[in-house]
Amino acid sequence: MTAHALSPQAREFIEGDHHLLIGGEWVRGRGADIPIENPASETVLTTIRAASTEQLDHAVAAARAALNGLWGRMNVRDRGLLLNRFSALIERDAGIIAEIMTAELGQTLASSRGVAGSLSPALFRYYAGWTDKITGEAFDPIVGADVQQFMGLTIREPIGVVGAIIPWNASPGMMGLKLAPSLAAGCAVVLKPAELAPLCASYFARLWQEAGGPPGSLNVVHGHGATIGAAMASHDGIDKITFTGSTAVGKAIVVAAAGNLKKVTLELGGKSPFIVFPDVDVEAVARTAASWCFVASGQACIAATRVFVHADIHDRFVEALGNHTRNLIVGDPTEPSTNLGPLVSAAQKQRVAGYIASAKAEGARMVCGDEPVPAVGHYVRPAVFTEVDPAMRIAREEIFGPVMSVIRFDDEQRMLDTVNDTPFGLSGSVWTRDLERALRVARRIDAGQIGVNVHGPMSPQTPFGGNKQSGWGREFARNGLEEFLKIKAITIRIGDRP
């Protein structure tokens, strides 16, 4: 995409200043310069300035001051109204945000519009509704012999200062997942977007100001993961980290968080199974498998990267998959006809190329994926492999690129053993008209959410998160809110004083 394809509003924003938002003030970053590339054109869109670690300290202090000040005192109705105003502003500017997202990330404009105009504002609206429904309980504690002597209460309080560290993919959606529940809970937030694609976060910071967010309630700092991200994870002034990204970084955050035992929620990698039984419409389900494996050019944690196909339909399925995938259009993400935009960076493209080479070397059969790609831009053709042994690297590791492993099965139990023989446990789906079989299989997959004849449905009401090394905790739904609340128990003597 050339800069000319951008609307004047998006271009003006991208080329403007991307200061840090600290305590309600725009502050010039004093850290490193970070050039932001358009992965489709390989040109530099703009350069942002990272925060220094001292500026991170200021942001954390501003968040703490907000909790003790205006933001902490705001009543729950006004907090909900603020989140609703913010949601409306995201909706108002969804077209601009989608353009920015496509420019910095390379994802097709159509899917950027879905994230910016639908998922993200829906999350803010959903959590706006929770602000005045955060309640505790009353109960009869047994203290000593006489139950009548005491009354117990619980109240739910904001967990405190939250550090939100998000990845480059679908950042308006990631902000919905991190900011909406934490702000609804009454926490104050320091947000660090990914250094590869920080511009949507910069835009959200501006909208939070416009919505009337009190100073320090939301602070936005830019910077590299190894410096500012790591400093957040180990920061004594941060009470909780909410993170989405790779499993390796998630583990580093857990270690760094041990210093002050801050709470941690993690949404990490996946290797999601897509399990197809013979009683399905083979052509239609093959197309759906492709769309869920190649979503965002495969750069999605829930991507259906392991497709288990029953032997009875395997060959027909693979043929349909190949025919469909060969016709997918890889190219300019601003073109409405494009199915897959580029990968986010040259490094990511190289990584994916390494996996494709490993699959060939290990003896998998490439059904498609060798066709040429545009010379400029980090493009990769969607690749389908069959004859994949579950022990191969492409079947075991998270690739974050458009590479599908098709694994043949005939025995349900052995298939399930293979499905679960992975360190990941994020998501998955089962495709069959036989409801008993669907539920039996769904129950036995070790993952946080399973679709039956649907893959990766994202709704604000549906809890989402990973088992095993795919994460800690849940996002979306009431569960997502609870991650930002702490319970205080109060016991009141109501009988005779001692």
Residues that bind ligand ADP (CB under 6 A): 165-168, 192, 194-195, 224-226, 229-230, 233, 245-246, 249, 252-253
Nearer to ligand ADP, 168 or 203 (CB): 168
Calpha distance 250→411 (Å, rounded) = 35
Nearer to ligand ADP, 82 or 221 (CB): 221
Nearer to ligand ADP, 224 or 478 (CB): 224
What secondary structure, in 3-state letters, does the chain show? Answer: CCHHHCCHHHHHHHHCCCCEEECCEEECCCCCEEEEEECCCCEEEEEEECCCHHHHHHHHHHHHHHHHCHHHHCCHHHHHHHHHHHHHHHHHCHHHHHHHHHHHHCCCHHHHHHHHHHHHHHHHHHHHCCHHHCCCCEECCCCCCCHHHEEEEEEEEECCEEEEECCCCCHHHHHHHHHHHHHHCCCEEEEECCCCCCHHHHHHHHHHHHHCCCCCCEEECCCCHHHHHHHHHCCCCCCEEEEECCHHHHHHHHHHHCCCCCEEEEECCCCCEEEECCCCCHHHHHHHHHHHHCHHHHCCCCCCCEEEEECCCHHHHHHHHHHHHHCCCECCCCCCCCCECCCCCHHHHHHHHHHHHHHHHCCCEEEECCCCCCCCCCCCCCEEEECCCCCCHHHHCCCCCCEEEEEEECCHHHHHHHHHCCCCCCEEEEECCCHHHHHHHHHHCCCCEEEECCCCCCCCCCCECCCHHHEECCECHHHHHHCCEEEEEEEEECCCCC
User: At its nearest, how many Å lie between ligand ADP and the CB of residue 105?
Assistant: 11
| Catalytic residue check, 368 | no
Amino acid at 376: V
User: At its nearest, how many Å lie between ligand ADP and the CB of residue 395?
Assistant: 20
Of all residues in the shown chain, the one whose CB is closest to ligand ADP is 225
User: At its nearest, how many Å lie between ligand ADP and the CB of residue 220?
Assistant: 12
User: At its nearest, how many Å lie between ligand ADP and the CB of residue 249?
Assistant: 3
Nearer to ligand ADP, 89 or 230 (CB): 230
Q: Catalytic residue among 91, 301, 475, 483, which? A: 301
User: At its nearest, how many Å lie between ligand ADP and the CB of residue 226?
Assistant: 5
| Catalytic residue check, 301 | yes
| Helix 8-15 × helix 94-105 angle, to 10° | 60
Q: Catalytic residue among 91, 104, 195, 267, which? A: 267
User: At its nearest, how many Å lie between ligand ADP and the CB of residue 192?
Assistant: 6
User: At its nearest, how many Å lie between ligand ADP and the CB of residue 292?
Assistant: 18
User: At its nearest, how many Å lie between ligand ADP and the CB of residue 222?
Assistant: 10
Nearer to ligand ADP, 394 or 485 (CB): 394
User: At its nearest, how many Å lie between ligand ADP and the CB of residue 168?
Assistant: 6
CA neighbor of 294 nearest in space, from 321, 319, 268: 321
N- to C-terminal Cα separation, the chain: 76
Q: Tokens at residue 154, please? A: 């619980």
Calpha distance 323→309 (Å, rounded) = 17
Which residues are catalytic, by number? 267, 301
